[in-house]
Amino acid sequence: MKQLLGSVIGVVTLALAGLLVLRIWNISVVSSATVLRSGATLAVLAATLVGLLMLRFTFFKNPAAGYDPQVGNRAHPRQPANFSQKKD
């Protein structure tokens, strides 16, 4: 996921740098108003996605996910598997 996000950010950065270089040479591929509107649209989509993710993890979490009924009478959090320690 990190590589995908890094790749997307890299491609967007290269595209914006290319548009800036073309703008320096007075070559207009896309108007700045179009770039600003596209950026605003992407910002709204990103904010909506973050809001939906927050709602999902706030209201639709699984409360039994960390409970292991095999441990005992009390609710114990699951212990991470540690294969380096030997049990006697």
Contacts of 29 (CB under 8 A, 6+ apart): 19, 22
Q: 68 or 23: whose pLDDT is higher?
A: 23
Nearest CA-CA partner of 78 in 69, 86, 68: 68
Read off the pLDDT of residues 21-38 as tens digits, 9 standing for 90 and up.
998 998 888 888 998 999
Q: What is the arithmetic mean of pLDDT over 73-81?
A: 66
Q: What is the pTM of this model?
A: 0.54
